[in-house]
Chain A
Amino acid sequence: MPDLQKLYDAVLSGDRNTAVAVTQEAIATGGDPLELISKYMVPAMDEVGRLFECEEYFVPELLLSARAMKGSLELLRPLLAARGAQPVGRVVIGTVKGDLHDIGKNLVASLLEGGGFEVIDFGADVAPEKFIAAVQEKGANIVALSALLTVTMPAMRTTIDALKQAGVRERIKVMVGGAPVTEQFAAEIGADGYSDNASAAVTLARRLTATAVRP
C-alpha cells in the first residue's frame, strides 16, 4: 500500500502524474476507493477551496488541482460504480444559454466533484431543455447555473421558469453563481441558493442536498 498522504499532497499541489500513480498503486494493492476519496481527496480539495478563499490560490492553481483530482477519480469511479456506491448528490451544471464563459463554472464543477458529488457538466451555452432532461432522465437533484454577463443573467430566470413548466422544479434545488449574480438576484428569480465563490458553492450544495430528495 502506497503512502496515501502523497495523494493528498499531489491533489493539493496540482500534480496530476503523482495523483494518478499513487491511485493506481493503491488500487493494485487493494486500497478502498471510498476511503481514498473521503479521507484524502475530499480533504485535499477542501483545503484547495480554503486556500482559494483566503487568496493564496488563484484560478491556475485551482485548475491544476482539479485536473489532478480528476485523473485519480477517473480510475476510481468504475470501481465505485461496480459496488453500487451512491454519491453525496447528483448535480447538473452549466453556463446558461447565450453565455460562453466556462472557467468559473468548471471550477465549481471540479470542487463539487472533489466534494463527493456526481457532476453532469453540460458546458456553456446550455438550453433549459437540457437541464430538464438531466433531471428527468438522470435523476439530478441539484441544478447549478452560471452566468458571467449581465445580459445573460435573465436566462437563469428563463431556465428556472422552464423547470417549473416541466413540473420538475419541486424535485430539485437550484443554485446560481457568476460574477454579476447577487444574493438578491438569486432570491428574485426563485433560486434556492447563491454563492459568490467556487469553494462556498460546495458548502451550499451540501446544505441544499441535506434538504433535497436523494437521487
Chain B
Amino acid sequence: MNLRLHPRPGQSLADQLFHAGVEFPCGGESACGSCRIRVVSGEAPITEAMRAALTSKELEEGWRLACCADASGPVTVEVEQWSMRVLTDEASVPIEPRSGWGAVADLGTTTLVAQLVDLSSGEVLGLETAVNAQARFGSDVMTRVQYELKHPGDLRVAIRAQLGAMLHRLAAGRALEEILIVGNTAMHHLFCGLSVEPLTAVPFLPAEIGAMRFAAGDLAWPGPACFLPCLGGFVGSDLLAGIVATHLDRHGEPRILFDIGTNGEIVVGCQGGIRCASTAAGPAFEGGRISVGMRAGDGAIDGVHVQDGSLACHVLGGATARGVCGSGLVDAAAAGLQLGLVLANGRLTSSGKTLPLSDGVALTQADIRELQLAKGAMAAGLKMLGDGVGGLSLAGAFGNYIRAASARAIGLLPEDVIVEPAGNTALRGARMLLLEPSQREDRLDAITAMTEHVELAADPQFQDIYAESMSLRPFRLR
C-alpha cells in the first residue's frame, strides 16, 4: 500500500509516517529495521542510521527507515508493514533425491514467493517474498495487460529483474539445477514476452499456453528456468500446481480447488476429468473498491464477531483500526446479518446506511454492494461447476485467513461442503514437480489434457445465477 505525503512545516517525514500509522517497533532508535519504507517517487535522503540498518542494495532500491526519514519535497512511499501477508509452504512432499539445488517461484499478480530447495533432501533452505514490481503499473491483470499494450516489454523487464534478484539472493553464488515458475496466464505471458493481444478480448484464448523454457544465460539467473503451462483462459500454472498439490486429478470423487483473489479461480474435478474457470470477482477481497478497504496489515480489521448483541472487532497488530481487509469484510457482513444490521438483499438497515465497526471505521452501503458483486461472481461459478462435489480446498492467502462460518453465512462458500484451507498450493505443487522430475512431464501432460477451460459468462444461465448469487444467503451444492 502506497502513501503520498507532502512536506509540512515543523513535521519531519518520520512524524507524518508515524501519524499515518507506521509503527516504530524499537521506539525510533533506528535499531530494528522493522519500519522499512520504500520511496516510490520523490527523494528521502539516506542517513547514517539507515546505512547501518540496510544494505547498500536495499538503499539503492529506495528502502529507508521510516523512524528517521525526512524529505524536503512530496514523496510517495510503500510501507512494508502494510504489505500483504504472504503465504509460504513447507509441507513435506515426495522426493526423488538428486544432487544440487533448485528453486520454485509463485509469480502472483500481487505477491512473489520464491523458495530455494535442496534437491537431495527436499528441504526448503530459503525464502524470499516481495510485492510484484509490476504492481505500480496497475493492481489487476487487465490493467497490466493494457499497460503492456502501451509500453511493450517494460513489465517483462521489471519482473525478470525482480525475480532474478530474489533468486540470486537465495542461491548466494550456487548454481541451481532448475527453477520452476508458476503463475496465472497474464503473468505467464508478461514474463515470457508473449503477445497479450489475445487476452484483451473474448474468447480470451492465450497465444501460447505451453511450458516456456529459458537458459540461465538468457535471463542472467542462477539456473535454467521453466514457466509451467497454463490451463486455459486466465487460469494458469498456479492452479495447475494446485491440482498437483491437492491430488485433484487422482481423486475418485469430484472436489473443488478454489483460489479467492482478484480473479476467483475455480477448478473442479477428479480422475475422470477437470473443468476450470475464472470469475471476474474484482479486488474487493483485497481491499480494492471498498471505501475503508486495505490489505491485511497492521491496523486492518481482520475479524468481526457478535458479542453481547453488538459487533466486536479484531485489529491486526493490536493498533487503532485504519480499515478493513478481506476476512474482516466477510466477517462484518456475516455478523451484520446476524444482528439484522444487514438484510439478505444487502441493504443496511441503519438510518445513516453505514455499518460502524471500530474506531470510526465503517462500511457503507456501496461497500456491501461491492462485496455482493464479488462474492456473487464466485458463488455463481461454484454453483455452475461444483454440483455434487465431495469437498472444497481453499487455496491462497485469503483462503487461509477467511472464517468458513462467515463465508458460508453470506453465501460465498457452500454450506454443505467440507472446506479445507489448503495453504499455498501453487508453491507446494511447484515444489512437488521440482522434486519428482521423472514424473513431471507425464503428470503435466495428463493434467493439461484432462482439463477443460469454461467461459462462465458465455453460458446463457450465467446472468440469472449471478444475480441470484448476489444475495447474502447460504447456498448448497449437494
- A joins B in a complex: yes
Binding site for B on A (CB under 8 A): 55-56, 58-61, 63, 97-103, 106, 124-125, 149-152, 155
Query: Known contacts A55-B366, A59-B470; is A99 also within 8 Å of B201 by CB?
Result: yes
Asked if A98 and B200 sit within 8 Å, CB to CB, the answer is yes
Give the interface SS of chain A, mostly helix, strand, loop or mixed. Answer: loop
Residue numbers in B under 8 Å from A101 (CB-CB): 457
The reply to whether the CB of B466 lies closer than 8 angstroms to some CB of chain A is yes
Interface size on B, residues (CB 8 A): 29
Give the contacting residue for B463; candidates A99, A106, A125; CB below 8 A.
Answer: A106
Asked if A58 and B345 sit within 8 Å, CB to CB, the answer is yes
Asked if B471 and A150 sit within 8 Å, CB to CB, the answer is no
The contact string, 1 if C-beta is below 8 Å from chain A, for chain B 363-385, is: 00110010011000000000000
Query: Known contacts A58-B369, A100-B202; is A150 also within 8 Å of B347 by CB?
Result: no
Stretch binding the partner chain, chosen from B4-12, B53-61, B138-146, B403-411: B138-146
Residue numbers in B under 8 Å from A155 (CB-CB): 201
> How far does the Cβ of B223 sit from chain A's closest Cβ, in whole Å?
35
Query: Known contacts A58-B346, A97-B201, A152-B200; is A103 also within 8 Å of B142 by CB?
Result: no
CA of A45 to CA of B315, assembled, Å: 43
The contact string, 1 if C-beta is below 8 Å from chain A, for chain B 110-146, is: 0000000000000000000000000000000011011
Residue numbers in B under 8 Å from A59 (CB-CB): 372-373, 467, 470
Asked if B467 and A63 sit within 8 Å, CB to CB, the answer is yes
The reply to whether the CB of B458 lies closer than 8 angstroms to some CB of chain A is yes
Asked if B202 and A103 sit within 8 Å, CB to CB, the answer is no
Asked if A150 and B146 sit within 8 Å, CB to CB, the answer is yes
Query: Known contacts A99-B201, A100-B458, A102-B463; is A151 also within 8 Å of B145 by CB?
Result: yes
Residue of A nearest to B455 (CB): A100
Supplied contacts A60-B467, A151-B142, A151-B146, 5 more A-B pairs, CB within 8 Å: A55-B347, A55-B353, A124-B457, A125-B202, A151-B199
Most buried by A among B345, B365, B457, B471: B457
Give the interface SS of chain B, mostly helix, strand, loop or mixed. Answer: helix
The reply to whether the CB of B96 lies closer than 8 angstroms to some CB of chain A is no
> How far does the Cβ of A162 sit from chain B's closest Cβ, in whole Å?
16
Give the contacting residue for A60; candidates B202, B366, B471; CB below 8 A.
Answer: B471
The reply to whether the CB of B90 lies closer than 8 angstroms to some CB of chain A is no
Residue numbers in A under 8 Å from B366 (CB-CB): 55
Residue of A nearest to B197 (CB): A151
Most buried by B among A58, A63, A101, A106: A58
Residue numbers in A under 8 Å from B346 (CB-CB): 58
CA of A149 to CA of B457, assembled, Å: 14
Asked if A55 and B369 sit within 8 Å, CB to CB, the answer is yes
Residue of B nearest to A55 (CB): B365
List 15 A-B pairs, Cβ < 8 Å.
A55-B366, A55-B369, A58-B347, A59-B467, A60-B345, A60-B467, A63-B463, A63-B464, A100-B202, A102-B457, A103-B463, A103-B467, A106-B463, A150-B143, A151-B145
Residue numbers in B under 8 Å from A125 (CB-CB): 202
> How far does the Cβ of B438 sit from chain A's closest Cβ, in whole Å?
41
Asked if A60 and B468 sit within 8 Å, CB to CB, the answer is yes
Asked if B466 and A151 sit within 8 Å, CB to CB, the answer is no
Ordered nearest first, which 6 A-B pairs have the shortest CB separation? Answer: A98-B201, A151-B200, A100-B457, A55-B365, A60-B467, A100-B202
